[in-house]
Amino acid sequence: TVVEARTALEPMMAKLAAERIDEEQLATLKYSVDHMRENLHDEEIFVEMSRVFHDTVAKSSGNVLFGYLIHALLDILDGSVMGMEYQEKHRRATADIHEKIYLAVADRDPDAALAAMEEHIAGIWRYEEKHYPEALETPIAWGNRG
């Protein structure tokens, strides 16, 4: 499932990002968090900034494969493909945890970045379990590789 893939990948991406991020990438993370906060009422902008955030964490890890993997998941990450919508209360909580991840990465604290991302993914899991349980059971479709 998407959440299983995120649980396996994103904490390590955040940990590596804390060790390897450059100043331009750090500025992009900060921009995405700030823009999320400013646009809690606008789900479209909020989702786009969430994509920017997760994409930047992946790229900042310095592992090109993580970048490819996160791109493969980006269309599913926000839930729009599965018809999910996130209420403003959830968007606020997401902005809060993104800021926590950003601060850990900015402090160059790999363990805190990993823990914050684990907390984020666990929160997504709980939210989807409560509101969209079918999404947790849906396997990722990679298409026909015939």
CATH topology of domain 2-137: Four Helix Bundle (Hemerythrin (Met), subunit A) (1.20.120)
Q: Where are the alpha helices (DSSP H) in the chain?
A: 2-20, 23-38, 43-60, 64-77, 88-106, 110-131, 133-137
Read off the pLDDT of each residue in 87-99 and give the average, rounded to a whole number: 92
Residue 117 has pLDDT above 80, yes or no: yes
pLDDT, mean over the chain: 86
pLDDT of residue 141: 60
Report domain extents, the chain.
2-137
Q: Phi, psi at residue 21, to the nearest 5°?
A: -60, 145
> Given pLDDT bands bounded at 50, 70 and 90, which one contains residue 142?
low
What's the CA gap between 67 and 92, in Å, rounded?
26
pLDDT of residue 143: 54
Residue matched to tokens 């479209």:
44
Read off the pLDDT of each residue in 94-107 and give the average, rounded to a whole number: 98
Taking each helix axis from N to C terminus, what angle separates 2-20 and 43-60, rounded to the nearest 10 degrees?
A: 60
CA torsion, points 47, 52, 54, 55, in degrees to nearest 10?
140
Residue 58 has pLDDT above 80, yes or no: yes
Read off the pLDDT of each residue in 98-127 and give the average, rounded to a whole number: 96
